[in-house]
Amino acid sequence: SDELLALQKDPKQWVSPTGDYANVRHSALKQITADNVAKLQLAWQFSTGVLRGHEGAPLVVGDVMYLHTPFPNIVYALDLKDPDHKILWKYEPKQDPSVVPVMCCDTVNRGLAYGDGKIFLAQADTTLVALDAKTGKLVWSVKNGDPSKGQTSTAAPHVFKDKVFVGIAGGEFGVRGHITAYSVKDGKQAWRGYSMGPDADTLIDPDKTTHLGKVVGKDSGISTWQGDQWQTGGGTTWGWYSYDPELNLVYYGSGNPSTWNPVQRPGDNRWSMTIWARDLDTGKVKWLYQMTPHDEWDYDGINEMVLADQPIGGKTVKTLVHFDRNGFGYTLDRTNGDLLVAEKYDPAVNWATKVDMDKASPTYGRPLVVDKYSTQHNGEDTNTQNVCPAALGSKDQQPASYDAATGLFLVPTNHVCMDYEPFRVSYTAGQPYVGATLEMFPAGRVLGDGTNHTGNFIAWDAKVGKIVWSNKEQFSVWGGATSTDGGVTFYGTLEGYLKAVDTKTGKELYKYKTPSGIIGNVITYEAGGKQYVAVLSGVGGWAGIGLAAGLSKSNEGLGAVGNYASLANYTALGGVLSVFAL
């Protein structure tokens, strides 16, 4: 039996980091509605005691809330039955702080997973621990990587059926990405699939695994790399995972190829920047789709895969919807990887004119790159200017929500462009392997439309690939959205507002300024017969790296600092959970 599949159908709880296996981030709760949300009030708060960026969200399992922090990755269990929200237990791992300097984009952690009476935490130092959910006592732990080689962990673990899945971060350190499945029961490794390398490592079947309907052939994870560059090839796996129990397939994306200097690594660099569908039990790859072959801009493909069944062409299609860093919103048939839609979800996107949708074309499925914005074309030590989006993408890790009632995807986005200058680097284990200098700025500077906001919160129709409504946000929306059957969608902003909008129209219905900028994901749950909305504030992440790491030069923080410098006029560091109710 699949305990978690049953639990996630109860809207009173929030039992997985993404809400459910399908990553739709939608709740059937509806006490809070578009008509009454204006009366929402702060119910209680909890300080995590940790500074720097608080990503992810707590879990609610039964009457207990499980809350995590960025490094040092403390876990709290809070009693939701108790009016004082007493701390039932606290777990604080002992980690070598030398991991901190090899974390690329703040000391974030995207949350916990639950399964089989255990709470799973992927520590920054790549240790995966299973804690007894009742007592917080360590049940088992395994080491998934080696921080001395630049391998770290920021992604939430995901429990699907009897396995817990973890990825690896470190694309800025030449880490070769992989996803690993461990037994929930005892931590025994079931399989590991690498993003590149020989078929024995990637678990790709040369005669069965398909890319855009064609079998990929032998050692496809090597053949588009020069020499042994695939060994330090990136394609890390630090995002969100989803699972379709009927197809028994696990979906996720791989990140940028290393280094950021494209001139140094000729070829398509397969399978970086790729959507993966793997069999849950064996890890065998059913299909792949590489969105950005031979990346020249750091458009990691790791953003969430939303599994939604949608009416297309008169029938219900099992789709996978993905808002990529590269600025295209993709809709695929998740049974076989067929590409159905690929359209820009920010009109500013200029590095490619479109994705070639002509099945007969030799460039079918590839983005058609504009020479002017090709950092490869312009070469090393040349500054390619005004590329949209910036490296942090039209959307980064902040997950979208799907509301089946309106058929809309509610998407937190970035509206940022960049200058990008690649330079030559050599690989040393555990040292940065970046090879580009960046500067980011509001997209309005390229569009020449007089605006200087760096975010939009949009509603997207993934059946056709069109924006339905779009709200300007002063800053990139770095926190995840949640829609509800009350017709309300919630999200947080970098300056610290929890906001509620009408899902259908985007009309802003409520906002409340929390103690720090929000890069966490909103959740909703029910306790004692009452609906609550909860969100972590605590500014940081890549967008907030200037504040989080105390950086001030505009091209520091991998080019993000200057673009978000004015955040310091609105907020400061500090982790706090805020919980709201009517």
CA atoms of 534 and 134, how far apart (whole Å): 22
Regarding 305 and contact with ligand PQQ (CB under 6 A), the answer is no
Regarding 392 and contact with ligand PQQ (CB under 6 A), the answer is yes
> What string of H, E and C letters represents the secondary structure of 390-445?
CCCCCCCCCCCEEECCCCEEEEEEECEEEEEEECCCCCCCCCCCCCEEEEEEECHH
- Give CA separation, 140 vs 99, 162, 186, 187, in Å: 22, 15, 7, 6
CA atoms of 90 and 279, how far apart (whole Å): 35
Choose between 233 and 255: whose C-beta lies nearer to ligand PQQ.
255
DSSP 156: P
- Residue burial 356-378, b: 16+ Cβ < 10 Å; e: rest: beeeeeeeebbbebeeebbbbeb
Choose between 234 and 515: whose C-beta lies nearer to ligand PQQ.
234
Q: Which of 154, 483, 514, 537 binds ligand PQQ (CB under 6 A)?
A: 154
Which residue is nearest to ligand PQQ, using beta carbons?
Answer: 171
Name residue 112's amino acid: L
Could you tell me which stretch among 122-130, 265-273, 390-398, 565-573 binds ligand PQQ (CB under 6 A)?
Answer: 390-398
Regarding 397 and contact with ligand PQQ (CB under 6 A), the answer is yes
- Residue burial 212-239, b: 16+ Cβ < 10 Å; e: rest: beeebeebbbbebbeeebbebbbbbbbb
CA atoms of 148 and 519, how far apart (whole Å): 28
What is the distance in angstroms between the CA of the first residue and the CA of the last residue of the chain?
A: 37
Regarding 115 and contact with ligand PQQ (CB under 6 A), the answer is no
Residues 254-283 within binding reach of ligand PQQ (CB under 6 A): 255-256
Token digits of residue 473: 């946000």
Choose between 105 and 341: whose C-beta lies nearer to ligand PQQ.
105
Regarding 109 and contact with ligand PQQ (CB under 6 A), the answer is no
Decide: helix, strand or coil at residue 368. strand
Name the minimum Å distance from CB 6 to ligand PQQ: 32
Name the minimum Å distance from CB 274 to ligand PQQ: 14
DSSP secondary structure string for all residues of 504-569: TT--EEEEEE-SS--EE--EEEEETTEEEEEEEE---TTTTHHHHHT--STTHHHHTTGGGGGGGG
CA atoms of 292 and 300, how far apart (whole Å): 9
Name the minimum Å distance from CB 540 to ligand PQQ: 7
Name the minimum Å distance from CB 153 to ligand PQQ: 8
Regarding 170 and contact with ligand PQQ (CB under 6 A), the answer is yes
Could you tell me which stretch among 74-82, 101-109, 269-277, 493-501 binds ligand PQQ (CB under 6 A)?
Answer: 101-109
Choose between 119 and 440: whose C-beta lies nearer to ligand PQQ.
440
CA atoms of 172 and 194, how far apart (whole Å): 17
Q: Which of 32, 60, 105, 438 binds ligand PQQ (CB under 6 A)?
A: 105
Choose between 196 and 341: whose C-beta lies nearer to ligand PQQ.
196
In terms of Cβ atoms closer than 10 Å to its own Cβ (0-12, 13-18, 19+), residue 578 is buried
CA atoms of 497 and 492, how far apart (whole Å): 5
- Give CA separation, 426 vs 138, 271, 431, 582, in Å: 40, 22, 10, 57
Choose between 439 and 461: whose C-beta lies nearer to ligand PQQ.
439
Count of residues of this chain found to bind ligand PQQ when the rule CB under 6 A is applied: 21
Regarding 399 and contact with ligand PQQ (CB under 6 A), the answer is no
Regarding 224 and contact with ligand PQQ (CB under 6 A), the answer is no
Could you tell me which stretch among 157-165, 389-397, 444-452, 490-498 binds ligand PQQ (CB under 6 A)?
Answer: 389-397
- Site map 16..45 versus ligand PQQ, x via CB under 6 A: ------------------------------
> What string of H, E and C letters represents the secondary structure of 279-307?
ECCCCCEEEEEECCCCCCCCCCCCCCCEE
Integer-rounded Cα Rg, in Å, for the chain is 22
Regarding 238 and contact with ligand PQQ (CB under 6 A), the answer is yes
Could you tell me which stretch among 71-79, 166-174, 202-210, 547-555 binds ligand PQQ (CB under 6 A)?
Answer: 166-174
Name the minimum Å distance from CB 316 to ligand PQQ: 34
Residues carrying an active site annotation = 298
Token digits of residue 324: 């990529």
Name the minimum Å distance from CB 55 to ligand PQQ: 6
Regarding 461 and contact with ligand PQQ (CB under 6 A), the answer is no
Choose between 235 and 465: whose C-beta lies nearer to ligand PQQ.
235
Q: Which of 50, 108, 280, 576 binds ligand PQQ (CB under 6 A)?
A: 108
Name the minimum Å distance from CB 73 to ligand PQQ: 13
Q: Which of 56, 111, 171, 487 binds ligand PQQ (CB under 6 A)?
A: 171
Binding interface with ligand PQQ (CB under 6 A): 55, 104-106, 108, 154, 169-172, 236, 238, 255-256, 298, 300, 392, 396-397, 541-542
